[in-house]
Structure 1
Amino acid sequence: MMVKKRSFYEQSRPYLIAFIVLVIVIWAFSGIQFSGIKASAGQILGSIFSGLFHPDWSYVYSGHGEDLVSALIETLAIAFLGTIISSFIAVPFAFWAARTSKKFSSRSTFGKFLLTVIRVFPELVLAIMFIKAVGPGAFAGVLAMGVHSIGMMGKLFSEAIENIDRGPEEAIISAGGNRFDALSWATLPTVLPEFINFTLYRFEIAVRSASILGIVGAGGVGAPLIFALSTRSWSRVGIILIGIVVMVTAIDWLSGTIRKQLLK
């Protein structure tokens, strides 16, 4: 059996790609100005670790709404509402952006472009914009989280729609059904588990993102964290960091468990 001889380009392509990546890495590092480590870095790091080992337990719950539990609940509420609202809004965007045939579709191209534009703006930038529009607080955080999640989940949903088996749809239409029947009895039942899976995964990410929105005034646990850092209240910083770690870990475990059950 004759083995086709590889061309010079095919042989050198891996080395060419590696060289290009190396050039990009060197260029990226050359643009960073390393000013060194501050002399107080070790002291601050030691103070943070001291706060982690000696947390301010009195801040956990006071009953006045100005405690760690209240801040964590607000953070979860921001992440949950932002994810749920965006998951519903992302569905029509996903069908708009999904390319359901091999032919070029200007509809899906524009839909994908729009979802990309929405994803361009990070949550913090959107939070600052919405704070100017609706004022500081959790509502601005929900809007920022929701708008950013539309772009992300719309992309994931559209890819799930593109990858489904078209056989059931064609069978329903061949039996006399219309497009709505195919959507109701074939497409949606097929993609719904994937939609729920992506929504839960996005909620995990949203919980982490919502934890820092308070830094710019968009509600959540980020506000007391930045205030504690500014006032060098390391015990307060320690208990807030512990609360964030516990919350994120619990949400990751719960979401992962639910997603495993869905994929069975």
Structure 2
Amino acid sequence: MTTKTATTVTNASKPAAAADWNARVPKPRKNRYRWLIILALVAVYGWAFAGVPFTGLKETAGQITKSILAGVFAPDWDYVYLPDGEDLLRGLLDTLAISIGGTFLSTLICIPFAFWSATNMSSSRAVSSLGKIALSFIRTFPEIVMAILFIKAVGPGSFAGMLALGLHSVGMLGKLFADEIENIDRGPLEALTASGANRLQLLWYAVIPQVLPGFLSYTLYRFEINVRSAAILGVIGAGGIGTPLIFALSTRNWDRVGIILLGIVVMITAIDAISGFFRKRLI
């Protein structure tokens, strides 16, 4: 009798427990503003395309796309190298040279900034904060703005593009280098300090061996980014493959635009593959 009563009480308590659990589970709220957000997005897109002349747009866009694709898949190989210097190969080599020079320049400049910004290498937190503020200030200026300033200062050409990439990359590389320095193991530093090593010996034997692989990896990664940026800077006169690209666009030479785009894609893909291989080895 006692067993039946206990079973009955247990069975009776199950619906109550389930109801209590369902009451505690929060029900999903209906988004009242969902349709309002959708209508706002539709209105924004409608306003954006309101001034586009659709008359003849389909035919023109199709012809341009066909010509560019023809330049990509059936390029004029005579344009790869021309005696007058306005060829694809020299433009790509200029872009590569701008990227290498800008990356090398930024690496040399940002190393002192990195040690200045690292909290474990500065004399106080206020000093390292000043270094971080300086790097943040440098990062605020895009490459395009710096390229325009250097074009006005040193004239159009590859040198202006190299200076723009070099100065802009200091901000980002300096931040990454500072983070790498702050994450070092302090064990070797303490061991060398206990043995009477000076600051130069601490830097050479305890800090540099730990941060060098990270520095090289970040430098290669930044080099990949600079290759893409150098291809754009030529559009405003900072040298590289962007200069013949903007000329081809302005003269509506779509076949040449296609082969330039093909060259940019091939170069960036090859550089990404090579850089990724070396970065894996370093890490």
Among 159, 170, 182, the residue aligned to 2:190: 170
Q: 1:196 to 1:32 in 2, by over 3 A?
A: farther
Q: Does 1:233 align with 2:247?
A: no
Q: Distance in 1 between matches of 2:46 and 2:105?
A: 39
Paired residue type of 1:79: S
Contiguous gaps of at least 5 residues in structure 2 = 1-25
Q: Does 1:217 align with 2:237?
A: yes
1:66 Cα offset (Å): 2.1
1:45-64 deviations in Å (ceiling 9; x for gaps): 33322332332211101244
Among 145, 151, 159, the residue aligned to 2:165: 145
1:121 corresponds in structure 2 to 141
Q: Distance in 1 between matches of 2:281 and 2:101?
A: 23
Q: Distance in 2 between matches of 1:96 and 1:33?
A: 49
Among 261, 268, 272, the residue aligned to 1:252: 272
Q: 1:184 to 1:103 in 2, by over 3 A?
A: closer
Among 159, 169, 183, the residue aligned to 2:203: 183
Say what the alpha-carbon RMSD is for the aligned residues: 2.6
1:35 corresponds in structure 2 to 49
Secondary structure in 1 matching 2:48: coil
Among 106, 113, 116, the residue aligned to 1:93: 113
Q: 1:52 to 1:101 in 2, by over 3 A?
A: closer
Secondary structure in 1 matching 2:219: helix
Q: Distance in 2 between matches of 1:32 and 1:116?
A: 38
Q: 1:82 to 1:67 in 2, by over 3 A?
A: same
Q: Does 1:193 align with 2:213?
A: yes
1:77-121 deviations in Å (ceiling 9; x for gaps): 000000011101110000011111899711111111111111111
Secondary structure in 1 matching 2:128: helix
Q: Distance in 2 between matches of 1:255 and 1:143?
A: 22
Contiguous gaps of at least 5 residues in structure 1 = 1-11
Query: How many residues were matched structurally?
Result: 241
Taking the TM superposition and a 5 Å limit, the aligned residue runs for 1:65-84 are 65-84=85-104
TM-score by length of 1: 0.84
C-alpha contact 1:215 1:226 (8 A) present in aligned 2: yes
Tell me the percent identity.
56
